[in-house]
Amino acid sequence: MAAVAATTLLIAACGGDGETASMQPAKQTSNKASGENKRKPAAAKPPSDSELLNKMLTERAYAIHTGDEAAFLKTSTGAQVAKDKRAISAAKLLPLNDVKIEAGGTEIDGDKGTLRVHMAYRFDGVGEWYWKTSRMSVEKTEDGWKVAKDRPSSGTLAPWEHTRYKARTSKHFLALAPATMKVGKLMRDLEKGRTTMRRGLKGVKLPDRVLVIVNRNSNDTKALTKDYKTLSAVVAIAEAQVSTDGPARKVSEVSGNRVFVLWRSYGNRPPKARQRVIAHELAHVALVKRTGGRVPVWLSEGTAMYASGDTNRASDAGALLSGGVLRDSSKQKPAERALSLSRLAKPNSMNRMSSISISFAYSYSAAAAYAIANKYGQGALLRLHAAFNNEKIKGKPGRALTNKVFKKVLKKSLSQVEAEVEAYARTKSPF
């Protein structure tokens, strides 16, 4: 990246000075020979347009990091200047630890060009890097190359590009909330939710500090992440970017860990409910390295509900299994189909479900986690995660793999475990 190039240049300069200081005087020659041997110093090669563009991007990144408005606005032109002025004003409010910008692809046509740009940034006290990609239009002016238009290539903005956030900190959290929003006892909720999660999943380590971004509604959250399209009923989301390797699709690399809180759904809940929401999302943060590409959705969501102490969540599934009937009869069958570990056996099993089906799928997942933890111990939930990530257990996500994992870890078949889950859920039925 640009920072690496700058470091290399600095080392080369130091090396040159050292070599000159240790050189011996040159052997004397006649004036004629000396004149014949003289060579004109080679003319310095002017930097290429690509080099000048990367230099401009490096200056742009450093200006964001330091909050240098004048330096930042020098890198843009036209309508982009007004956008940049709002962005740098918002960036000044945030505890940015570092910002890096580099071009991943450059196309130049005369005094105009387009760039595919990658930006990485991080915050004080948070160990994660966060990423944004964009496509820039650039123009060559009398003062050099400048950004004429910067548009996110995937619809994802950095926080300061979306709105003005105010930063709040506690021992384990950095929270960004809209500058004019009153968030009450948010930081207390976060810390208490963390304590709840750690009690619920003993021995599972959380990052020292977690980034939390509070937004007014789902539209604000969609501006910052491309991974969630339906957010109307969501209260909070844990997000991370992961890489998976091998036939078991085990997580090999994690970045961008953060939690989004949607205030419209979250803020009017009682304190205990808010803290339970936080504990749930922090369980996802803590387990992200264990939640590989074969871990079923019922296990990841069920474990998070178990960690948050969501003891009442299984009641809806219990009611349906006990003969309960939905007011809208057209949704009865889809809801009943969601009550199945086989149907919830893939990481994306809930992706195409209706909101009603998802609600019952979550309820059944909670019943499964509690039933397993109560009968086999809390550690069984973590051993199941490990087994799905074990390459020695062959198979693609689905019913057959789940059956193998259950037999390995719980010494029971899938049908036997489902019977235990349904029995537990019925004990939670309100009738």
Contact 342, 236 (CB under 8 A): no
Residue 400 has pLDDT above 50, yes or no: yes
pLDDT grade, residue 155 (50/70/90)? Answer: confident
Residue 321 has pLDDT above 80, yes or no: yes
Strands 173-178 and 236-245: unpaired
pLDDT tens per residue, range 162-187: 999 999 999 999 999 999 999 999 99
pLDDT of amino acid 234: 77
Provide the CATH number for the domain formed by 163-289 in this structure.
3.40.30
Residue bearing tokens 């009611």? 319
From residue 164, how far is each of 109, 156, 159 by CA, in Å?
A: 36, 16, 8
Residue 10 has pLDDT above 50, yes or no: no
Residue 5 has pLDDT above 70, yes or no: no
User: Are the folds of 49-157 and 163-289 the same?
Assistant: no
pLDDT of amino acid 94: 98
- Which of 315, 215, 314 lies closest to 258 in space, CA to CA? 215
CB atoms within 10 A of CB 397: 20
Residue 18 has pLDDT above 70, yes or no: no
pLDDT tens per residue, range 272-318: 999 999 999 999 999 999 999 999 999 999 999 999 999 999 999 99
Predicted TM-score (pTM) of this structure = 0.85
Task: Give the residues across from 267 on adjacent strands.
Answer: none
pLDDT of amino acid 139: 97
d(CA 357, CA 171): 38
pLDDT of amino acid 150: 96
d(CA 381, CA 379): 5
Residue 131 has pLDDT above 70, yes or no: yes
More confident residue, 352 or 246: 246
Q: How many helices (H) and strands (E) does the chain have?
A: 17, 9
Domain locations in the chain as residue ranges: 49-157, 163-289, 294-431
From residue 357, how far is each of 319, 330, 361, 381 by CA, in Å?
A: 14, 12, 6, 24
pLDDT of amino acid 31: 42
The CATH class that applies to domain 49-157 reads alpha beta
Question: What percentage of the chain has pLDDT greater than the value 90?
Answer: 81
Strands 210-215 and 250-262: parallel
246: tokens are 């091998």
Among 97-106, 190-199, 218-227, where is mean pLDDT lowest? 218-227
What is the DSSP track for 278-291? HHHHHHHHHHTTT-
Contact 363, 314 (CB under 8 A): yes
Q: How would you class 146 by CB atoms within 10 Å of its CB: exposed for 0-12, middle for 13-18, buried for 19 or more?
A: buried
Residue 42 has pLDDT above 90, yes or no: no
